[in-house]
Structure 1
Amino acid sequence: MRRIICLLFCLSFFLVDQAFSVRLKDISEVEGVRGNFLVGYGLVVGLKQTGDGDQTKFTVQSIVNMLERFGILVPKEQVKLKNVAAVMVTAYLPPYAKPGQRIDVEVSAIGDAKSLQGGTLLMTPLKGPDGQVYALAQGPISIGGFGAQGGGAQVQVNHPTVGKIPNGAIVEREVPMEDLNSLSKVVLSLKTEDFTTTSKIVEAINTYLKGNYAKALDLKNIELTVPSNYQKRVVKLLGEIGNLEVIPDSPARVVIDEKTGTVIIGENVKISRVAVAHGNLSVEIKETPEVSQPYPLSPGETVVTPRTEIQAKEQKAKIVVLEEGVTLGELVRALNAVGATPRELIAILQAIKAAGALHADLIII
């Protein structure tokens, strides 16, 4: 297991050292072109004794209300069902979706149902934030798992109380959106804000269009004036612009997932001179600049040469010597070489950040 972790760290450092260009469409969005979330309350029928119990009052009331709409009057006290489950139905309505198009929906039990396996969702209106119905969902549910239990044991795979219905909803109402082809200006928004990346995108767009059509509004938004030869053809312009490639820059970040012990170190992460002692492990990094001066009256120049000394000591006589460089990557590789676990790496990185020696954003998720 430890060898695999070390291999993953080495692979991650190899990857971040390489600069790759990406398409503009993959790192930016067009302002105003957005989808919407839909939600609805429904009933799943056809379950095999795995539905809501009698204590789930809202399920019983929903059954009574549904039967009343069909002209069947049943006292609520007589309704005792285990083949029905109350669920919340959610969906994502993509931008410019037209009536008649189909979208996927997700179904989640909200009562004490054991499983939705084999169930069918009855017709459920899906509403937007404005309270309007934008789609209708119905169909058999695929849960991608199962659950079974006996007198003294049970087994469960994935989450049997959550399922999906591919193409399970039909769009009934179109969300009003501005016609792109009628616009004279378009704003592109970066998914990850950065001044350097914004400047590169502006340069790439203006080079492609052979003019000063793009300008940066801030570190995230870029205003694009539609050239005269693309008037009424803004969709075509955005398609061409989206395929332009740039090399994005990113701030120095270290992301830590304490639940899984995962540490992701971004590019440009560096540390200052610092000594680390953790348990029986001791690592010391020292920087000593050396000044080289030319002889008097010679044409040479004074040069400052950085000198780095790194020592790693461990009580079991394991010593790691790094060639050069004072980066967090070298420190982590040294810690891995002497057997530090991912949990120990997380503790060390947090301590270095607290000491003010880690020059990066430390994000814990």
Structure 2
Amino acid sequence: MGTTVSPFTPATRRHPPRLLPGLALAVLSCLIACTALAAPAAGATRVKDLGKLQGWRDNALVGWGIVTGLAGTGDSPGNAATRQALANVFSQFNLAIPAAQIQSRNVAVVMIAASLPPFSREGDTLDITVTSAGDARSLLGGSLLLAPLKAADGHTYALAEGPLSVGGYRYDANGNVVQKNHPTVGSVPGGAKVEKGLQSAVLAEDGRLTFVLANPDYTTAARIASAINAQPGLGSARARDAEAIDIEVPADQRAQPVGFIARIEGLLVEPDGHARVVINERTGTVVAGGEVRISPVAVSQGDLRISIATVNSVSQPGAAWGAAAGGRTALVANSTVDVNEQAGGAFLPPGSSTVADLVQSLARLKTNTRDVISILRAIKAAGALHADLIVQ
């Protein structure tokens, strides 16, 4: 008779496979590494927020024009530039009026400024700033006539016109003047239209890009180059110096570099920088990074107050010292000097403390901002503050 073995007997029961200790440790290490790569650092910043590609820059545009429609607040009739400019405008409409015969205070000669961003196209609009170039008292209510805007190469890139927006006013009558802000400066949002597009070349002839840091730093430049080299398909990068990182674009992506640049801009890098403490004595503002270090140093802050009070009194001569004896009334000044020194706070920061720790400790001692500024300057003079102290 055969023996039947039940599938539930201990001889055939299936147990989950067990990993060897070494294999389990390897899997755990791989999971930790993958998690570290997936989670960005706490201070990680996108590369696009740390700088820009070389060749991306705004271009200044400038021109001059005429503002009309002013309510008697324009240039004076003796302004030769205004009269000549208005005569030139009339001549374009077959109105031959000599400049000497033009007498109007409703017109002002102005200068126009704008900024042409990179990759501008025909038809794009620009904001313009209009400033008085003559002796006009106010540009309120005026409208700018069509005027060309030129770049440094002398070519016209935009045309400006439109009603002015002035954030002030000026009214005067019988010698009385009421003025708010600067009425001789105005703006026209979207007042200029681009007539000639501008294409900025960011890719060099040898197929390289140059990324320029906004705040030059060797450590940040090296980290960006390492982040680019660690990503497959992004070519090779090399930090040229503290400001520029040269990136070699693969040959198959040079025709359409937009996707390549977008991948580089999206990389996360933890920037580094110089330790700085900025102090504004006028407003009593102190701004410092949380990791600015201070060596062990003792700080004692006290308050010495000296008050001097003078009381004037009159001394009258007695009967025995009357006028016959040569006595007379005298003015006597009695002065009192009071010295009051309040108990000052003492602070001894521990080793490797930061400016944030120092400020918190001084706040617990109820130290005002002016005294905090003096203490920080004294610590810097003592060589215990490891940061650049910038006083504004």
TM range (shorter): 0.7 to 0.9
State which drifts further: 95-104 or 72-81.
Answer: 72-81
Counterpart in 2 of 1:14?
Answer: none
Q: Deviations over 1:94-145 (max 9, x none)?
A: 1121233222211122333333222111111111112221111111112244
Larger-gyration structure (1/2) = 2
Q: Deviations over 1:38-73 (max 9, x none)?
A: 111122111222323345443333323333444434
Counterpart in 2 of 1:236?
Answer: 259
- How far apart are 1:237 and its partner, in Å? 0.7
1:269 alignment partner, one of 292, 298, 317: 292
Structure 2's unaligned 5+ residue stretches are 1-40, 305-339
Counterpart in 1 of 2:95?
Answer: 72
Counterpart in 2 of 1:100?
Answer: 123
Q: TM-score, normalised by structure 1?
A: 0.73
Residues 328, 55 of structure 1: alpha-carbon distance in 2 compared, 3 angstrom cutoff: farther
Residues 182, 115 of structure 1: alpha-carbon distance in 2 compared, 3 angstrom cutoff: same
1:80-159, aligned counterparts within 5 Å?
80-148=103-171, 152=176, 154-156=178-180, 158-159=181-182
> Is the 1:181–1:232 Cα contact (8 Å) retained in structure 2?
no
> Is the 1:199–1:216 Cα contact (8 Å) retained in structure 2?
yes
Paired with 1:217 and 1:96, the residues of 2 have a C-alpha distance of 26
Q: Secondary structure at the match of 1:329?
A: helix
Paired with 1:343 and 1:98, the residues of 2 have a C-alpha distance of 52
1:36-51, aligned counterparts within 5 Å?
36-51=59-74
The one-letter code matched in structure 2 to 1:79 is I
1:317 alignment partner, one of 316, 336, 343: 343
Counterpart in 1 of 2:218?
Answer: 195
2:240 is the counterpart of 1:217: yes
* Aligned length in residues: 315
Q: TM-score, normalised by structure 2?
A: 0.69
- How far apart are 1:25 and its partner, in Å? 0.9
Q: Secondary structure at the match of 2:197?
A: coil
Residues 37, 153 of structure 1: alpha-carbon distance in 2 compared, 3 angstrom cutoff: closer
Q: Secondary structure at the match of 2:286?
A: strand
Q: Deviations over 1:273-326 (max 9, x none)?
A: 556677728xxxxxxxxxxxxxxxxxxxxxxxxxxxxxxxx9433536566454
- How far apart are 1:149 and its partner, in Å? 5.6
Paired with 2:282 and 2:218, the residues of 1 have a C-alpha distance of 33
State which drifts further: 32-41 or 158-167.
Answer: 158-167
Paired with 2:117 and 2:143, the residues of 1 have a C-alpha distance of 24
Q: Deviations over 1:334-355 (max 9, x none)?
A: 4455555545544554454455
Paired with 1:277 and 1:320, the residues of 2 have a C-alpha distance of 4
- How far apart are 1:35 and its partner, in Å? 2.3
- How far apart are 1:166 and its partner, in Å? 1.9
Counterpart in 2 of 1:307?
Answer: none
Paired with 1:341 and 1:41, the residues of 2 have a C-alpha distance of 52
Counterpart in 2 of 1:171?
Answer: 194
> Is the 2:300–2:345 Cα contact (8 Å) retained in structure 1?
no
Residues 327, 125 of structure 1: alpha-carbon distance in 2 compared, 3 angstrom cutoff: same
Structure 1's unaligned 5+ residue stretches are 1-17, 282-313
- How far apart are 1:179 and its partner, in Å? 7.0
Q: Secondary structure at the match of 1:80?
A: coil
Residues 329, 267 of structure 1: alpha-carbon distance in 2 compared, 3 angstrom cutoff: closer
1:290-329, aligned counterparts within 5 Å?
315-317=341-343, 319=345, 321=347, 324-325=350-351, 326-329=353-356
> Is the 1:181–1:235 Cα contact (8 Å) retained in structure 2?
no
> Is the 1:183–1:234 Cα contact (8 Å) retained in structure 2?
no
Residues 183, 28 of structure 1: alpha-carbon distance in 2 compared, 3 angstrom cutoff: farther
